[in-house]
Structure 1
Amino acid sequence: MKQAAAVLRQMTREDLPAVMEIERTTFPADAWSEAMMRGELRDQPRTRHYVVAEVGGRIVGYAGLAAAADQADVQTIAVLEGHRRSGIGAALMDALLAEAVRRGARQVFLEVRADNAPAQTMYERFGFERLGLRRRYYDDGMDAITMVKELERP
């Protein structure tokens, strides 16, 4: 059976219970706190842009971008396990990159766990290139791979 297409929209504070459930199940070793996520939303739209993906009215993924001057950073991106490999992560990344371009960014940076090969593969498909390594970046001691994508200007 074909999965329904995801609908993307801007994240609101009312979305936090569902978002935090995805956050805790997706990133058990280093989940953000609800206070951290609320802080991110307080900076929206000034320096932040957060979106959720819904399927059948249920939030199944979310993503966030920080942008200042000509640089943007993917803050987070997560999709519920049962909805992965269905194009939702790619749709979320497309939305973040489009917002980065809209805000005038020339580069987008991100960190990804060194042990998260599927995410690294997706980022490489989007044109991100490995930049460096941040040793013991995550709370559980895992390294982070830093990546960058140069954006084409319209």
Structure 2
Amino acid sequence: MPTSSDGVVFRDMTLEDVPAVDALEQRLFPADAWPLHMFLSELSQHETRRYLVAERGGDIVGYAGLMCIEPIADVQTIAVVPEFEGRGIGSTLLTRLIEEARLRGAADVLLEVRADNPRAQQLYVRFGFEQIHVRRGYYRDGVDALIMRLQLGPEGALDDGAPAHAPAPHPTTEAGQA
């Protein structure tokens, strides 16, 4: 299990993780939290999904998920608890989702992010995502969703030849739920 310098372990999400992830989801996204059954459904679709958790001292401090139906991958969710922001957890989770998208043959990675979350938007821009659309009133509280896309190129590079991961890690609190 790969571990970061501050003892954070990144691994695949299991069914046993769902209650803790659900509790975090309710805490972090009170207006737009996924229902518990959604995580159970997502984890049952191995052929098109990959979900990860970041764990420290037995506690889940971040999670993320990807859906990939070639040629498109979609970041379904990404979250880091506020107490662990700024430690590179979000960047590591996003890097691993992008790597998974490449392994599954995706040409593009899409995500939705709240228009009122500039920190998350900045993370995605550092990774090479660009805004391609706005979904007006997408979130339950009426906030718009920005649709962002990362075009993947051959051999682990973005189409412009830049590396696929950010040079300096930074976490995010959400990508928005699909």
Count of residue pairs the alignment pairs up: 151
Q: Which residue of 1 aligns with 2:64?
A: 63
Which amino acid is 1:11 matched to? Answer: M
TM-score by length of 1: 0.95
Rounded Cα–Cα distance in structure 2 between residues aligned with 1:87 and 1:143: 26
Matched-pair contact (CA < 8 Å) for 1:53–1:60: yes
Rounded Cα–Cα distance in structure 2 between residues aligned with 1:145 and 1:95: 22
- Following TM superposition, by how much is the alpha carbon of 1:5 offset from its aligned partner in structure 2, in angstroms? 3.5
Identity %: 52
- Following TM superposition, by how much is the alpha carbon of 1:25 offset from its aligned partner in structure 2, in angstroms? 1.2
What's the Cα RMSD here? 1.0
* Greater relative contact order (CA < 8 Å, ≥ 6 in sequence): 2
For the pair 1:6 / 2:8, whether they are aligned, the reply is: yes
Q: Which residue of 1 aligns with 2:25?
A: 23
Unpaired runs of at least 5, structure 1: none
Matched-pair contact (CA < 8 Å) for 1:47–1:68: yes
Matched-pair contact (CA < 8 Å) for 1:4–1:56: no
Rounded Cα–Cα distance in structure 2 between residues aligned with 1:104 and 1:35: 28
Higher strand share: 1
- Following TM superposition, by how much is the alpha carbon of 1:90 offset from its aligned partner in structure 2, in angstroms? 0.3
Runs of 4+ in 1 over 4 A off after TM superposition: none
Report the 3-state secondary structure (helix = DSSP H, G, I; strand = E; otherwise coil) of the residue aligned with 2:19.
helix
